[in-house]
């Protein structure tokens, strides 16, 4: 997949593509961000904090798994350092954090949010490397959430 073939499919010249896209990385980041922003939030109002967190994570993983190739492509892309990629990276990270905080309810414990964020990033990384499928990712994260949340219900 080259920027030029993307431009061609879009019926547009490469030069035009580059007026909208700073880079190939930016393209992937933008697509991923739009996909993410459009996902529904897990509801899971009736359950323990652990259950709510597991529901939030499952919902995220499921949404991301809808477009596995996009998820794979975005992982290296987000490591780029165009200003546009920087912007989207922050937004995407904030999106994750927001969901985790919501699952934790009022006064979320910062180290807890941190642990979830790092574990989730790590899972995305490992899936992006092909070390896990997204189905495995869901299962492993379920157990990991249980470990992290241990002693935090009520």
The nearer residue to a second copy, 37 or 143, going by C-beta atoms, is: 143
**From the list a second copy, DNA, none, which binds 83 (C-beta under 5 to 8 Å, kind-based)?**
none
**From the list DNA, a second copy, none, which binds 100 (C-beta under 5 to 8 Å, kind-based)?**
none
Q: Least distance from C-beta 87 to a second copy, angstroms?
A: 13
Binding site for a second copy (CB under 8 A): 75-76, 78-79, 81, 89, 93, 109, 111-112, 114-115, 117-126, 128-131, 140-141, 143-144, 146-148, 150-151
Cα distances from 76 to residues 70, 90, 128, in angstroms, run 11, 15, 8
Token reading at 31: 């697509």
**From the list a second copy, DNA, none, which binds 2 (C-beta under 5 to 8 Å, kind-based)?**
DNA
Token reading at 13: 């010249």
**From the list DNA, a second copy, none, which binds 68 (C-beta under 5 to 8 Å, kind-based)?**
none
Closest Cα partner for 100 from 138, 47, 55? 55
In angstroms, rounded to a whole number, what is the distance separating the alpha carbons of residues 102 and 56?
Answer: 9
b or e along 74-112 (b: 16 or more beta carbons within 10 Å of the residue's beta carbon)? bbebbebebebbeebbeebeeebbebbbebbeeebeeeb
Number of C-beta neighbours around residue 26 at 10 A: 19
The contact mask relative to DNA for 5-24 (x = CB under 7 A, - = no) is: ------xxxxxx-xxx-xxx
Q: Least distance from C-beta 105 to a second copy, angstroms?
A: 17
Residues that bind DNA (CB under 7 A): 1-4, 11-16, 18-20, 22-25
């Amino acid at each position: 997949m080259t920027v030029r073939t993307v431009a061609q499919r879009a019926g547009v010249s490469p030069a035009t593509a580059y007026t909208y896209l700073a880079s190939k990385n930016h393209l992937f980041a933008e697509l991923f961000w739009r996909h993410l922003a459009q996902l529904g939030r897990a509801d899971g109002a009736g359950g323990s904090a652990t259950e709510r967190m597991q529901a939030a994570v499952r919902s995220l993983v499921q949404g991301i798994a809808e477009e596995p190739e996009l998820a794979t492509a975005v992982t290296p892309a987000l490591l780029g350092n165009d200003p546009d990629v920087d912007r989207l990276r922050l937004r995407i990270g904030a999106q994750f954090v927001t969901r985790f905080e919501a699952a934790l309810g009022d006064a979320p414990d910062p180290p807890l949010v941190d642990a979830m964020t790092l574990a989730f990033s790590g899972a995305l990384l490992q899936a992006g490397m092909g070390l896990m499928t997204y189905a495995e990712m869901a299962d492993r994260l379920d157990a990991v959430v249980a470990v992290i949340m241990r002693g935090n219900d009520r």
